[in-house]
Each structure stands twice: as structure tokens, then as C-alpha cells.
């Protein structure tokens, strides 16, 4: 038997998927502080994968879906309703704009 070590937060149905392939997943349930830390790591991992997929539309869609899933988990863990996030996004867009105009700030002269 070969053991491949992952040590990372995975989606809820991954152990079931692994079992379906005839393998044995070894898992544990994280306490709240470990869960918060692993969500942070997962957000970084998924964001990196989205950045790497920028030139492949279908892959980018999948990766952005993964990023969104992690963001929703972080919000849920922190008892933040999705509408609060959307309101913050809207407020910030109204105050400072979005990114659609592609403005690149080179410098500021004081």
C-alpha cells in the first residue's frame, strides 16, 4: 500500500469520490481555528489556480467557481449573509468604481 499525503481541506464529497475509486481516504474533522486557517490556505490555492487559468475560458470558469465556493464557506463560518457581501460590493463600486475601465495607476505626483 502506498500512502499519498495531502494535508489539505477538501470538498465534502471527496472522501466518497476516493472510496468510489477503491482507495481509502484518511480524514479528520477540523476544529474552528484549524478550519479558518485551512480556508485561508484554500482561498490562496484556488485563487492561484484561477490566475493560472486566465487564458482558458472553460478552465477559468471552473476555477472561479472553486474560488466562489471557498468565499461562501468563509462567509458562512463567519456568520455573514451573502446579501451583506453583495451590499459591500455595491457600496464600494458606487464609491470607488469597479475595474471595467481597465485603469492602471502608474504613479501619483504630490
Buried (b) or exposed (e) across 43-63, using 16+ Cβ within 10 A? beebbebbeebeeeeeebeeb
Q: State the Cα–Cα distance between residues 71 and 64, nearest whole angstrom.
A: 10
Q: State the Cα–Cα distance between residues 48 and 71, nearest whole angstrom.
A: 14
Would you say 41 and 9 are in contact if contact means Cβ atoms under 8 Å apart?
A: yes
Q: What average pLDDT does this structure show over 61-88? A: 98
Residues in contact with 107: Cβ distance below 8 Å, sequence separation at least 6, in sequence order? none
Number of separate domains in the chain: 1
pLDDT value at 1 more than 90: no
- Domain-located, residue 18: yes
- Domain-located, residue 8: no
On average, the pLDDT of the chain sits at 97
pLDDT band at 5 (very low <50, low <70, confident <90, very high): very high
Boundaries of domain holding 23: 14-82
pLDDT for res 39: 98
CA Rg value for the chain: 19
Residues in contact with 11: Cβ distance below 8 Å, sequence separation at least 6, in sequence order? 69
- Domain-located, residue 57: yes
For residue range 24-58, what is the model confidence (pLDDT) as tens digits? Answer: 999 999 999 999 999 999 999 999 999 999 999 99
pLDDT for res 101: 96
pLDDT value at 77 more than 90: yes
pLDDT value at 107 more than 90: yes
Question: Containing H/E element for 78?
Answer: none
* Helix (H), strand (E) counts: the chain: 4, 0
Give the rounded percent of residues in the chain with a pLDDT score beyond 90.
99
Amino acid at each position: 500500500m502506498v500512502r499519498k499525503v495531502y494535508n489539505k481541506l477538501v470538498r465534502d464529497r471527496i472522501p466518497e469520490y476516493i472510496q468510489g475509486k477503491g482507495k481509502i481516504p484518511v480524514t479528520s474533522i477540523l476544529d474552528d481555528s484549524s478550519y479558518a486557517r485551512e480556508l485561508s490556505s484554500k482561498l490562496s490555492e484556488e485563487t492561484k489556480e484561477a490566475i493560472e487559468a486566465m487564458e482558458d475560458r472553460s478552465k477559468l470558469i471552473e476555477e472561479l467557481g472553486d474560488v466562489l465556493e471557498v468565499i461562501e464557506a468563509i462567509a458562512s463560518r463567519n456568520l455573514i449573509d451573502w446579501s451583506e457581501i453583495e451590499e459591500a460590493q455595491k457600496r464600494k463600486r458606487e464609491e470607488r468604481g469597479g475595474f471595467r475601465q481597465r485603469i492602471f495607476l502608474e504613479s501619483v505626483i504630490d
